């Protein structure tokens, strides 16, 4: 038991160290909703919108706007990466299978969705530790305050801009940032 705990703590420390040493999102691999390891390096050369999502949140209807944004720009090298998280008010209680079924049947989501993770706290996923690290990302770092926080990432995996949950996917602010990033 003690050896298992020590090993687990060692792995956690190593993962934390790797997150702080990362310089782009392309250095992370996370499981898809189907449990398949998906390297974010597969998004190299694309503009990515990373979003922590939830199925039972006041912002859940943003899935519709996210899907529309994805469809509008995907052929120009844009992708959305959805990361379900249950950190805020238990608003994502479902299993990965239930989350996938909900997103597809309710909002027709076709953009990449990942397995449920934690976006804050002691069990924060290494990707989100990197995204929120104020040292690595002084302009966009800081704790996630709620579901549907969005990070716009350039073709090299660097964070360009952060949008808080109230910013709608099809707002002029977000859409012009996506369009501008695609034009570079």
- How far is it, in rounded angstroms, from Cα 82 to Cα 104? 13
Are 124 and 118 in contact by the 8 Å Cβ rule? The answer is: yes
Catalytic option among 31, 44, 57, 65: 57
**Exposure letters 22-42 (e unless 16+ CB within 10 A, then b):** bebbbbbebeebeeeebebee
Strand residues in 33-178 grouped as ranges (E):
37-39, 47-53, 78-84, 150-153, 159-163
Our answer to whether residue 103 is catalytic in this structure is no
Q: Which residues are catalytic?
A: 57
């Amino acid at each position: 038991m003690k050896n298992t705990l020590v090993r687990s703590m060692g792995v956690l420390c190593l993962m934390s160290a790797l997150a702080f040493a990362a310089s782009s999102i392309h250095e992370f691999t996370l499981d898809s909703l189907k449990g398949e390891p998906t390297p974010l390096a597969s998004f190299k050369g694309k503009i990515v919108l990373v979003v922590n999502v939830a199925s039972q949140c006041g912002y859940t209807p943003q899935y519709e706007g996210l899907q529309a944004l994805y469809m509008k720009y995907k052929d120009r090298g844009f992708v959305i990466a959805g990361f379900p998280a249950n950190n805020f008010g238990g608003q994502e209680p479902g299993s990965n299978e239930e989350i996938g079924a909900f997103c597809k049947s309710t909002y027709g989501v076709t953009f990449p969705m990942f397995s449920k993770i934690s976006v804050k706290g002691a069990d924060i996923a290494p990707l989100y530790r990197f995204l929120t690290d104020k040292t690595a990302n002084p302009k966009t770092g800081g704790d996630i305050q709620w579901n549907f926080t969005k990070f716009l990432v350039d073709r090299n995996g660097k964070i360009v801009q952060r949008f808080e949950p109230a910013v709608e996917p099809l707002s002029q602010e977000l859409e012009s940032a996506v369009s501008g990033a695609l034009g570079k």
